[in-house]
Each structure stands twice: as structure tokens, then as C-alpha cells.
Structure 1
Amino acid sequence: MRLRPAFTMLELIFVIVIMGIIGKFGVEFLAQAYRNFISSTINNTLQANSANAVEFIASRLQYRIKDSIIARTGETTTFTPLADASGETFVVLEWVSSDIDNFRATTTPNWSGIIDLDAGNANLLVSPATNTTDINSTIFALSHGNSGVNDAALYFIGSNQDIDGYGWNGTALADQNGSVMHPIKQGTNANEFVPRNGATNATNSFTGVNVYEYYQLTWTANAVVMENYNAGTKMGDLVFYYDYQPWNGEMFYTAGQNIKKFTIMENVSTFQAMAIGSIVKIQLCTKSDLMIEETYSLCKEKTIF
């Protein structure tokens, strides 16, 4: 009986070469599939997070008092109207928000937005179909017990639009004259607004003030701030502030006032806003450096009327 080898040396070399080629392409295929999976995951995450962040900010800006919007370069009393703000040094977007929660209420609005010009006087204003008791309860709940209707202010639609009249410089509005925001508190009756000093809360007067028939009620300003910016990674956190009253002398960074804040989004590379007339456009850019030797980034933007 003659024995023959299963493979000749040439056949063995051929098999090894073929297996090596298959193995090489198999590993490359798996590596590429893994990279595609990582890229897809990063893209989906950034797309979802950035879209949610932009929608959140836009939904708040939708109910802004349109002429109140400003920008800052940081925790400073210096401010610039958004229409005049340009460049990358502005990291704070700030505005006064109309109290949409009380205006919507449950079945009927808690404040009507109308002043009866014949029923009031310099010491109080009468707003038909307004219930300051219900307003106070809603604000108390939304602020977790930190604010109420006696911290609120009125904005008369059609009145003076001076950007210095909102209290953005950190000084409380002690005088109703010359102010855009008018600090108020509850009157004896539920439909009454009494003027007050924003610094002391003492009653003052609407004497000399042009009172308009239509108003908006507000109890808080809002701020979107870029924080914890890392110059190395060029990323930071976008943080939302609320439950503070500039007309009472408060700033978004005022200590000891129980001002609320939460992070809207992490790993934000840039956040910019611009205003053309009463229209605001925001842009948010985010990125991820999870992929080796590669950076994945995208931007979302939205226009708010």
C-alpha cells in the first residue's frame, strides 16, 4: 500500500495564503462594521439631543416679551441688546418671559391681559377676569415655593421699549416712571394690581405712568448660559436659568435667591443667537470625540417669531 500526503507543500502554502487573505478582509469588514455602528450611534444621539435642546429653547423664546432679549459675555451687569450683539464672546442669552402658564391656566386664564382704565387709579389697577389668588398659587408651584404674584411685574403692550427699563443692570426698579417693567403685588380684591417698589416691596404709585389697556404679566426672566467650557475640547454645557426677577434687582447668578437651573445639553461646541427686528434665530452646534483621530459634529438651528 502506498501512502500519499494529504497536501503537498505547494497546496499547503496556497491554503495558508487564501486563509490569510480571507482573515484579513474579514477583520477589516468587522472593523468597518463597528466603525459604522459607532458613527450611526453618535449621529443619532447628537441629532436627538441637539434637536431636543433647540426645541426646548425655542419653546421658551416663543413666549418672550419680544423687546426684552439681551446678550451678555458672562456673569456681569453689562448687557447688549441681542440685535447689537455679534461675535463669539457672548455666552449668555437672556429675556423676560410672559407668564404663559397662568394665561393658559386650566379652563379660563388667571390673568386676562386687559386693564379697565376707568376703574383704576394711581394706587391700583383693575384687571377684569383676573384672579391674583390663582396666579399666586400657580407661580408658587412652578417656583417650588420661592416666588409668588408679589414678585411679579406688568408689561404694558405699546409702552416705552427702552432696554434699560427691565432691570438688566442689576438695580431694582424702585420707581414706576421710566420703567418698562412695573413691579406689582396683590390688591385687596383678586382682580387688582397694586404698584410696588422693586427694591423694598413697599407700595408706590402709577402717577405719571402711561398705563395701557393691554398688558402681559411676568414673574421670571430666563437665561441660557454656556458654562464649564473646556478650551482643550472646545465643548461646554448649555444651562437654563429661571425663577429670578431683574426688576427686583436679581440676576441669573445672584447668590442666595434659590434661583433654579438645569443643564439643557452637554458637549455643546457653540451656541449663538441673532435678532432681526422681533425675529430671533438660534443655532446650536455639538460634537463628539469618541472616534479615534476623528471628530463628528453637527449643528441645529431654528427661527422664532
Structure 2
Amino acid sequence: MTKKSAFSMLELIFVIVIIGILGKFGVELLAQSYQNFLHTKINNKLQDQSSIAVEFIAKRLSYRIPDSVIAKEDDNTTFVGIQSIDPNRNYRTLEWVQRDIDGWRGNTRPFWSGIADLNNSVAAGAAIDTPETNTTEINNLIQILSDTNSTINDAAIYFIGSNNDVNSSYGWQGAAVAGVGAAMHRITAFAQNSLNSNFAGVDIYEYYQLSWTANAVAIEDDGKGNGTYNLVFYYDYQPWNGERYTDNVAKKSTIMENVATFQFRAVGSMIKIQVCVKSDLINNAEGYALCKEKTVF
């Protein structure tokens, strides 16, 4: 009986070629599928992170004292009011005075009323009477939120409707402000329904807001050398007392890493913010970045 091989040499070569072709395209298909999966996963992650970062900033900006907002350049001392920023300059920090919102909410009623009794205030320019204000609870709340780093005596009040200069009235220049010309009036003493400060010569308005901290959002070099930054949030410092967030008195937390740019500008009374982020897992030479922006009223 004649034996016959399973495959002739020609058939074997043909099978090997076909398997090689299928294998080549199969590997390419798998690689492309994995790359698409990776890009989708990274894109979704960046979408979530950038959305959280923008919302974090916007939420705090919504409680700003409107005419206190400034932009700073690289040296962290040169600043301008946000209404006066030059689009051709490199601003790295957005900074503002934030009114207290936690004490304003309260569980049953606000801890501070925001109302000054003009008929029963300012004895020798020293105090305002503010009905339904619980200064003891305000003090306790500030100590809790600042981890005992600040008290009501570090806080200040701002009169709504007062005429202020962002360049000199808030303490952004690094020197404490008080009395006439100051937007923020530091609380020097307090009693129930009463707040003391240097009000001599100061125009007293019926409505006020209380603040115990300024806030700053800054991009800082992350040391990776690839053009990305950390987006950092600073709080628990008082510029009206001569403090800067760079003086090691402020608390800080990182909002987001691998940030490509952080931009902002004023549009009337609104502020537009934009955060662009890159990923270490995607070749940044391709110029891939994802941006989120939001308008804050």
C-alpha cells in the first residue's frame, strides 16, 4: 500500500503563508482594539477629573466677593484685578476673598445675619450691632473649618455697596489694611450681636458679608519636565492681615495633576475658567489634551 503525506510541501507553505497573514492582521486588530480601549478609558478618566476640577473651582468662585478677584503672574506678587488682565501675559494664579457660606447657611438659622443696625451701631467708631448674629457659633465654626488655625478675630466683614479699590483695599499687596480705604474690616473683638473693628471714619452700610479666608488656585510645576503642572488650591489665610498664600500660613490641597493649562478671564461680572489636562499614558507629542470650561456667575 502506498503511503501519502498529509500535506505536500506546496500545501504546507500555502498554509503557513495564510496563517502568517491572518496572524499579522489579527495582531494588528488586537493592538488597534487595545489602543482604542486605552484611549477611551483615559479620555473618560480625564473627562471626569477635569469636570470635578472645574466644578470644584466654580463652586468656590460662586461665593467670591465680586470685586476682590485678582490674577497673579509667575512671581506671585505682581497682580491685577481680573477685569484688567492682559490676554498676552502668563497668569498662573486666580485669587479671591470668599465670603463665609457655611455660617451663612446654618442648621436652623444663619450664624451671622448680614445686617447692621444703623440706628444702634458704631459707638466711637468701634462696633456694629448686628441682630440675630451668633458670634460664639461663628467662632466655633471657623475654628473647626480651619483646624483651629483661625478664629473670628482673624475674620473680617465687608460692607455691600462700599466703594473699594482691588489694588489697595484687600491687602493683596502684602500689607495689612484697616480703617478708611479698607474693604475688609478685621474683627478685633466680639460679643453677642456685636462685632468690633476700626470703623472710625468708615462709611457703614446696612448689609455686610463675613469672610475668614481668601482662596487661591495656582498651577505649579510638577517636576516631570513634560510641560505639565499640578493644579493646587490654597485656603485659610487672610490678606487683609498682610498674609499671602505663599507665606506657609495657608493650607493647600492638590485639585488635579498633569494639568496642561489653567486659564481664566472676566466677561462682565462673570468669570470663565478653563482647565486642560494631559495623560502620562498617551504620547503627548501627539498634542492630545482634554479641556473643560465653565462660566461662573
Q: Which band: TM-score by shorter chain? A: over 0.9
- The aligned counterpart of 2:112 is 111
SS in 2 for 1:288: coil
- The aligned counterpart of 2:219 is 226
SS in 2 for 1:102: helix
Asked if the contact 2:76–2:93 (Cα under 8 Å) also holds between the matched residues in 1, the reply is no
- The aligned counterpart of 1:201 is none
- The aligned counterpart of 1:246 is 239
1:194 aligned onto 2:196: yes
| Identical aligned residues as a percent | 55
Asked if the contact 1:140–1:147 (Cα under 8 Å) also holds between the matched residues in 2, the reply is yes
Distance in 2 separating the partners of 1:62 and 1:36: 38
Aligned with residue 301 of structure 1, among 268, 293, 296: 293
After TM superposition, the runs of 4+ consecutive aligned structure 1 residues lying more than 6 A away are none
Asked if the contact 2:164–2:181 (Cα under 8 Å) also holds between the matched residues in 1, the reply is no
CA shift, 1:11, in A, is 1.1
Distance in 1 separating the partners of 2:28 and 2:246: 52
- Read off the aligned partner of 2:172 and give its amino acid letter: W
Call closer, same or farther: CA 1:244–1:253 in 2, change over 3 Å.
Answer: same
What does residue range 274-293 of structure 1 map to in structure 2 within 5 Å? 274-292=265-283
- The aligned counterpart of 1:97 is 98
Asked if the contact 2:164–2:182 (Cα under 8 Å) also holds between the matched residues in 1, the reply is no
What does residue range 110-259 of structure 1 map to in structure 2 within 5 Å? 110-121=111-122, 122-163=125-166, 164-173=168-177, 175-187=178-190, 189-195=191-197, 205-228=198-221, 232-255=225-248, 257=249, 259=250
- The aligned counterpart of 2:55 is 55
CA shift, 1:77, in A, is 3.0
Taking only aligned residues, the RMSD between alpha carbons, in angstroms, comes to: 1.4
Q: Deviations over 1:222-274 (max 9, x none)?
A: 0001112558411100000000000000001113x3x2100000000000110
Asked if the contact 1:289–1:296 (Cα under 8 Å) also holds between the matched residues in 2, the reply is no
Call closer, same or farther: CA 1:18–1:88 in 2, change over 3 Å.
Answer: farther
- Read off the aligned partner of 1:190 and give its amino acid letter: Q
Q: Please say which of residues 28-37 and 127-136 is displaced more in the overlay.
A: 28-37
Distance in 2 separating the partners of 1:214 and 1:64: 16
Q: Please say which of residues 125-134 and 175-184 is displaced more in the overlay.
A: 175-184
Distance in 2 separating the partners of 1:281 and 1:274: 5
- Read off the aligned partner of 2:92 and give its amino acid letter: V
Asked if the contact 2:171–2:239 (Cα under 8 Å) also holds between the matched residues in 1, the reply is yes
- The aligned counterpart of 1:199 is none
Asked if the contact 1:94–1:221 (Cα under 8 Å) also holds between the matched residues in 2, the reply is yes
- TM-score, scaled to structure 2: 0.95
Distance in 2 separating the partners of 1:41 and 1:296: 14
Asked if the contact 1:67–1:278 (Cα under 8 Å) also holds between the matched residues in 2, the reply is no
Structure 2: where are the runs of 5+ without partners? none
- TM-score, scaled to structure 1: 0.92
CA shift, 1:99, in A, is 0.2
Asked if the contact 1:71–1:92 (Cα under 8 Å) also holds between the matched residues in 2, the reply is yes
Distance in 2 separating the partners of 1:71 and 1:80: 6
Distance in 1 separating the partners of 2:57 and 2:247: 22
- Read off the aligned partner of 2:159 and give its amino acid letter: F
Call closer, same or farther: CA 1:285–1:7 in 2, change over 3 Å.
Answer: same
- Read off the aligned partner of 1:133 and give its amino acid letter: T
Distance in 2 separating the partners of 1:74 and 1:114: 40
SS in 2 for 1:129: coil
